[in-house]
Chains A and B, each alone.
Chain A
């Protein structure tokens, strides 16, 4: 298989996904099969071809710097799993 179990676990860690052992085995097999199919791309010579990131011409989009109404803090915090004193609440990031 193209991917090892360790690689699957590494990808899951990068993607912040907790996987159980069964999932690791399943994704190892499925992702390896998919990547193997993708190998056909390597047959194409693309040396001189520029990549396409978007079909639109890349440009900066500017607007006038004017105050406009947007959502209120109450509206935004209504969907928060935990909020406190008008802020999103999470467990401590730094040791105290």
Chain B
């Protein structure tokens, strides 16, 4: 067993028993990155010297009796999350040289828990995308097939976890950006409830939808990471002041007394669904029934409207959030004769095609004459989508759905057709609109050997029941133990 392939909980035991040191573990993962990242391209920035220094510090802390929950565990951070003194680009030219003066609260929590930051992972520009191809710097490759996308926008974090280039990673999920790449890369991706994890230091995309989440090798690791980053933060007025439960205690393995809802709308879209995905998720529901769960057919009738609602609300909020990139206080400035021309040139050159597309879509949705027809309408339908979930969670504890309609698509396949790209998100958008939580876990492979993911969804602050069901399924199956053949991408 190579050290880099350990899970967080395995490494934690070995570190606690002094069978390995944080320095050995960190060196092994850094070496792994050097071996495989030329092919995978998961990282935008690596911080090996800082990581080794942190590892030595972690070993010293342990000698003094410290047993912090992530002491000596090497992790990666999506490059939309601020890290003090380490470049944070949001995958955009406009922030290419930006070095945050502070840590995001989630990063500060990781550091306080003893985690070692390896570097920053690739993302679609400002987390806008479903394939990581919208990164201004380069595309990340899917470790299961280098000709395919890792998903997005947290594609760098998902690929890094799948290729054993870190033990776990932070991502962000505005409309599926943690869950969908987790599904494409065969790892676990957890999107917490809106308000569960502080957004302070997360570069804003759509403020009513954005949530920091985690990518991990298994459900236990996801629970460990969530435990560290969850909680109230006075610096984020939308973080919610509720106690953080003991998530590990939820990992019982049993499902007796649990009711699982299966929404018909997520299995009835034959024109976009890959039949193997439907079959794998249906088989997984059978496994949950065998484990003692009660299965209930349910309906989320407004599912088909989630895509237009999301792609009006998210770009509208983005157009306001991205107004700050004007070349005055930070980021790129393209100097022109007067200030307006400087704004226009800075933003015209600094934003990539998808950033501009969403800013324009959002500006249009908010412009005079169209506000009621598009934006207000979308907000009203958002109410209906949320009410669907409220009604469903009156009957069931969790909902099972496919994470994405297909497995990973080919690099370049959808770049020229933004609507087709948006349609790859149809199963992950509703949860952000409703503010609920969910996790994507591996549930099979297609005929090309590409991973299939399914979502376990819970109501707001229902992370415990989501983790309980995901863990029980994981323990009964072996999908999460499969790894991509690294002979294809190792130097």
Contacts and interface: CB of A to CB of B under 8 A. Distances in A.
Contacts of A81: 327-328, 330-333
Contact of B386 (A23, A31, A52, A78): A52
Given A34-B311, A38-B374, A56-B194, A15 B419 contact: no
A50 interface: yes
Given A18-B344, A91-B335, A51 B363 contact: no
Contact of B328 (A8, A12, A17, A90): A90
Contact of B99 (A8, A27, A30, A79): A79
Contacts of B102: 71
A40 B419 CA distance: 14
Contacts, number: 154
Interface stretch (B10-18, B25-33, B345-353): B345-353
A55 B435 contact: yes
A79 to B, nearest CB: 4
Contacts of A12: 360
Nearest to B236: A61
Interface string B366-388: 01000001101111111110100
A27 B333 contact: no
Interface stretch (B36-44, B136-144, B302-310): B302-310
Contacts of B378: 41
A44 B419 contact: no
A46 B381 contact: yes
B360 A27 contact: yes
A49 B380 contact: yes
Contacts of A91: 335, 337-339, 342
Contacts of B434: 55
A52 B344 contact: no
Contact of B240 (A16, A51, A56, A79): A56
Given A38-B308, A75-B101, A55 B333 contact: no
A80 B22 CA distance: 37
Given A53-B208, A75-B101, A31 B357 contact: yes
Nearest to B348: A18
Interface residue SS majority, chain B = helix
B170 interface: no
B360 A55 contact: no
Contacts of A79: 97-99, 101, 329-331
A54 B237 CA distance: 12
Contact of B384 (A11, A14, A15, A49): A49
Interface string A32-45: 01110110111010
A52 B329 CA distance: 33
Contact of B208 (A19, A54, A93): A54
Contact of A30 (B98, B335, B418, B460): B418
A14 B363 CA distance: 7
B321 interface: no
Interface of B: 97-99, 101-102, 194-195, 208, 234, 237-238, 240, 302, 304-305, 307-309, 311-312, 319, 323, 326-333, 335, 337-345, 347-349, 351, 356-357, 359-361, 363-364, 367, 373-374, 376-384, 386, 418-419, 422, 433-435, 460
In the A-B complex, list the 5 residue pairs whose CB atoms are closest, starting with the nearest: A55-B435, A18-B348, A51-B379, A81-B333, A79-B330
24 contacts: A8-B360, A18-B348, A18-B349, A27-B357, A30-B418, A34-B419, A35-B364, A38-B312, A41-B374, A41-B377, A44-B381, A51-B379, A51-B382, A52-B386, A52-B433, A54-B208, A55-B435, A56-B240, A78-B99, A81-B333, A88-B328, A88-B329, A90-B328, A93-B339
